[in-house]
């Protein structure tokens, strides 16, 4: 057995109020190969530390995996404007995932100041390392700087033919830079430069503001009833 079930309970849905969620969580007992990672991405599985999960909710099917076919992607006018903001003063560094107090502080500011945490307590070092640094697959970290100041961190899992965006957090005082949009553009560009066909942006839920923005990248494909369906720009 290459994985072990560690949790399979019902819980309040983190995306839609009043819904019940089921997200079976499986710890991976050995690192996944690049080809194995690609298969898990294509099944809309998400990673938390060394575990993978896929939504399997009893009364709702609103969650859909969403991916970008890299070769076909064309940025919109607004996305090109975001890229232009970063052109002269921004830079991105790519390397192994690591932990330090500056990243933890930025992570907690992102969570707490943007109202994304259910409590008033921030993540501690062990929680950050367990969720974002420890991994069951090849993972890289993308560090975003503007005027030489660290303003964002993106965590990206890699397969042979695709990549999966795990999490992105940023300085809540720099929302003027549209860092979330820029990070997705950079991840798409990374896939293009490394010969990867798809970027998986995680789950899409039409009625959830934190997830619905992903549909602004065109063309994209969503996993519905076991099939990846393509959506062009209207």
Band of pLDDT at residue 27, cut at 50, 70 and 90: very high
Q: Say which DSSP state 54 is in.
A: -
- Residue 49, domain member (yes or no): no
Sheet of strand 51-53: strand arrangement: 3-7, 25-28, 51-53, 46-48
Nearest to 67 by CA among 224, 225, 222, 226: 222
Residue 24 has pLDDT above 70, yes or no: yes
- Residue 115, domain member (yes or no): yes
Range with the lowest mean pLDDT among 60-74, 115-129, 140-154, 197-211?
Answer: 115-129
CB 117 within 8 A of CB 210: no
Provide the pLDDT for residue 51.
98
Residue 184 has pLDDT above 80, yes or no: yes
Q: What is the mean pLDDT of residues 71-97?
A: 97
Q: Tell me the CATH number at 123.
A: 3.40.630.30
Cis peptide before 127 (omega within 30 of 0): no
Give residue-wise pLDDT tens across range 89-148.
Answer: 999 999 999 999 999 999 999 999 887 766 668 899 999 999 999 999 999 999 999 999
- Residue 31, domain member (yes or no): no
The strand pair at 51-53 and 25-28 is best described as antiparallel
In terms of residue numbers, what domain contains 106?
Answer: 63-231
Residue 48 has pLDDT above 80, yes or no: yes
> How many other C-beta atoms can be found within 10 angstroms of the C-beta atom of residue 112?
16
Q: What is the mean pLDDT of residues 11-32?
A: 94
Count of residues making up the chain: 234
- Residue 173, domain member (yes or no): yes
**Whole-prediction pTM:** 0.94
The CA distances from residue 224 to 5, 55, 65, 179, in Å, are 25, 12, 8, 29
- Residue 38, domain member (yes or no): no
- Residue 119, domain member (yes or no): yes
Provide the pLDDT for residue 121.
81
Q: What is the mean pLDDT of residues 145-158?
A: 98
Provide the pLDDT for residue 210.
86
Residues 6+ apart with CB under 8 A from 26: 3, 4, 5, 6, 51, 52, 53
- Residue 216, domain member (yes or no): yes
- Residue 51, domain member (yes or no): no
**Number of structural domains in the chain:** 1
Average pLDDT, the chain: 95
β-bridge partners, 170: 152
Band of pLDDT at residue 171, cut at 50, 70 and 90: very high
């Amino acid at each position: 057995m290459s994985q072990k079930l560690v949790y399979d309970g019902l819980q309040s849905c983190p995306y839609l109020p009043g819904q019940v969620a089921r997200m079976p969580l499986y710890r991976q007992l050995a690192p996944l190969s690049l080809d194995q990672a690609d298969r898990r991405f294509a099944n809309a599985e998400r990673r938390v530390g060394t575990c993978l999960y896929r939504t399997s909710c009893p009364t709702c099917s609103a969650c859909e995996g969403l991916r970008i076919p890299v070769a076909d992607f064309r940025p919109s006018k607004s996305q090109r404007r975001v890229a232009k903001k970063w052109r002269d003063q921004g830079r991105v560094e790519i390397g192994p995932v690591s932990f330090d107090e500056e990243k933890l502080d930025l992570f907690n500011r992102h969570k707490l100041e943007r109202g994304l945490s259910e409590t008033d307590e921030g993540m501690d070092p062990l929680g950050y390392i367990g969720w974002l640094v420890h991994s069951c697959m090849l993972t890289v970290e993308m560090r975003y700087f503007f005027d030489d100041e660290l303003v964002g961190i993106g965590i990206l899992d890699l397969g042979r033919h695709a990549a999966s965006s795990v999490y992105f957090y940023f300085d809540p005082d720099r929302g003027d830079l549209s860092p979330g949009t820029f990070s997705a553009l950079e991840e798409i560009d990374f896939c293009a430069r490394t010969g990867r066909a798809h970027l998986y942006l995680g789950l899409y839920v039409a009625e959830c503001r934190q997830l619905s923005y992903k549909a602004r990248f065109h063309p994209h494909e969503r996993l519905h009833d076991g099939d990846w369906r393509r959506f062009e720009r209207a």
